Amino acid sequence: MSKHSSPRSSCEQFSDRAFEKMQLEEEMRHLLRSCYREVSFELPLKRDDGSIALFNGYRVQHDQSRGPTKGGLRYHPDVDLDHFVALATLTG
């Protein structure tokens, strides 16, 4: 992964190489690339000094064919929806 690659594009490159080796049809590739659900939300919090801070949150479910999806939380200002899509794709 280069310094300029996003987690999502790195994941897509990894998946594409695997799909190529498996010789998957394009329809199956599309299904495996697609996330089941992506949720984005904003959480406003009042700080001790009275100001309001707005935080972004994300939940991505990649595949629920094998039952409930798993998930995790990441708290960092640099984490965005792109990171969560990549994590959900890799963990299924």
Question: What is the tens place of the pLDDT at every residue in 22-74?
Answer: 999 998 888 888 778 888 888 899 999 999 999 888 888 877 776 666 666 66
Q: What is the pTM of this model?
A: 0.60
Closest CA relative to residue 62, chosen from 13, 16, 8, 17: 8
Cβ neighbors of 58 (< 8 A, separation 6 or more) are 38, 39, 40, 41, 79, 80, 81, 84
Token pair of 49 as six digits: 């000094």
Q: Is 44 exposed, middle or buried (0-12, 13-18, 19+ CB in 10 A)?
A: exposed
Q: Which residue has the tokens 């939380």?
A: 73
Domain annotation for the chain: domains and CATH numbers: 7-91 (3.40.50.10860)
